[in-house]
Amino acid sequence: MLCQEYNMNGQSNNKHSLSDHMGDPTWVITRRDFLKASCFVIAGLSVGAPFAYADETDHKTKLRFGIVTDAHYAEAAARGVRHYRESVAKMTECVTLMNDKKVDFLIELGDLKDQADPPTEKSTISYLQTIEQVFRKFKANKYHVLGNHDVDSISKDQFLAIVSNTNIPRESKYYSFDLKGLHFIVLDANYRADGLDYDSGNFKWTDANVPRAELNWLERDLAFTSKPVIVFVHQQLDGEGSHYVKNAADVRLILQKHQRVLAVFQGHNHAGYYSRIEGIHYYTLKAMVAGSGEENNSYAIVEINDNHTFTVTGYRRAISKKLEKA
């Protein structure tokens, strides 16, 4: 079995050839493809630390969930490294593996679909319906996070009318749920600085904000739970710049204040990223759409242990990482 190994910079040490898959998004998915990524080595936990395998633990797994982000599916020609059409096959591989691994739930972190050039409402809705049909083949609980491209030529209401979040009211843009003694929060940062919803492209992608009403809801939601908390959001919360929520510092203050938040899982930055602020892990997953061929897919399984440490098992290009308790 091929084990995926990562160096101190989080880069794969394995070499791949794209020639076998370039221009062919209809590759054959086999169980061996899944197992290639199932064995992984985590490096760089600390300078000089020995390699450790994910299954080496003295603690029991409390819950396992799958994450995927930035599929950007559209029937459109590739643009740069974004291979829009291939996301159907890539998502099929992801969902099949998540079913095979029997994770407790699967969540996509935004930008599930994209748009054609020129964009139309009708074609955009058809792209969303197509990729959502693939995502719905996951057999357990499933959830969505709103991303900026999800509303590039349709409204949030139109998006939410097509997707399905398990046991969540259809109109909910942000929401929370409990599972196996843990509390999960899904945020929506797709608001302009003036507080208006992103709607059919009426925004700049660099102007992402969490409005006051949502901040107040977040305060109340955290106050009403005594469980450990995991947060999901599309745009990044752990810094400043074009990929970050403009009032991310305000959101972080609320998360830090309640001292129950263990980790935040994000998308939007296609290259991926990781940071730790005030004891909270911020893991940004690499984009599914980036790169051609099955080897350029990206998705991960997150295991939460009973001591509240995390093991992120990255598949294909996704980075594997051990997230220790503060």
100 pLDDT higher than 70: yes
pTM, two decimal places: 0.84
Question: 254-275: per-residue pLDDT in tens?
Answer: 999 999 999 999 999 999 999 9
| Mean local confidence (pLDDT), 117-145 | 97
- Please give the structure tokens belonging to residue 75: 């029937």
* CATH code for the domain defined by 59-323: 3.60.21.10
Calpha distance 221→100 (Å, rounded): 33
Task: State which H helix or E strand residue 212 sits in.
Answer: helix 212-223
Listed range (26-30, 50-54, 103-107, 194-198) with the worst mean pLDDT: 50-54
The alpha carbon torsion through 287, 292, 295, 300 (nearest 10 deg) reads 20
Compute and round to an integer the Cα radius of gyration of the chain. 19
Please report which confidence band the pLDDT of residue 58 belongs to, taking 50, 70 and 90 as the band edges.
Answer: low
Instruction: Determine phi and psi for 34, rounding to 5 degrees.
Output: -65, -45
Domain map (residue ranges) of the chain: 59-323
Calpha distance 90→319 (Å, rounded): 17
